[in-house]
């Protein structure tokens, strides 16, 4: 499959269950994913993981990880300075089309609002908007 211009041999990806098992064995945090990130980067030239740092309505954010079956959401509500995000491993789910579309719609709304606010802030700071 092609993902972000990279040819990805799906057979070399973690399975959903192997990823969850790895996280369970290593503390369930973002730090526990360092070896997976390294493996993916060495194998594919990309980590094949993306942070989704806005709430999906149930969690503070999520990490999207490419696996053999597709893409999983690793949701989190807790973060700390040592382990970073602490994933809720009992809530890991494989994305379907509807869930991906929901994430896209929410991201566009969030991004458009933030970009508009930042542009207004810049204009106010420059004295171009009152």
Tally helices (H) and strands (E) across the chain: 3, 7
- Report d(CA 50, CA 26) in Å as an integer: 20
Q: Could you report the per-residue pLDDT of 25-63, keeping only the tens digit for each? A: 999 999 999 999 999 999 999 999 999 999 888 899 999
* Residue spans of alpha helices (H) in 26-96: 34-44
pLDDT of residue 52: 95
Q: Could you report the per-residue pLDDT of 70-111, keeping only the tens digit for each? A: 999 999 999 999 889 999 999 999 999 999 999 999 999 999
Q: What's the alpha-carbon Rg for the chain, to the nearest Å?
A: 17
Residue 130 has pLDDT above 90, yes or no: no
- Domain ranges within the chain, ordered by starting residue: 2-95, 96-130
- Would you tell me how many other CB atoms lie within 10 Å of the CB of residue 14? 20
Give the list of residues 6+ apart from residue 82 with CB closer than 8 angstroms, or none: 31
């Amino acid at each position: 499959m092609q993902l972000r211009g990279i040819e990805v041999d799906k057979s070399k990806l973690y399975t959903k269950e192997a990823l969850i098992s790895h996280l369970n064995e290593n503390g369930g945090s973002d730090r526990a994913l360092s070896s997976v990130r390294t493996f993916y980067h060495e194998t594919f030239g990309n980590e094949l993981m993306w942070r989704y740092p806005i709430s999906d309505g149930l969690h503070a954010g999520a990490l999207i990880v490419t696996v053999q079956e597709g893409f999983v959401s690793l949701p989190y509500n807790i973060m700390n300075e040592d382990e970073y995000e602490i994933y809720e491993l009992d809530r890991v789910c494989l994305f379907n089309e509807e869930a991906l579309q929901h994430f896209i719609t929410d991201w566009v709304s969030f991004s458009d609002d933030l970009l508009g606010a930042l542009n207004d802030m810049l204009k106010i700071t420059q004295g171009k908007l009152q």
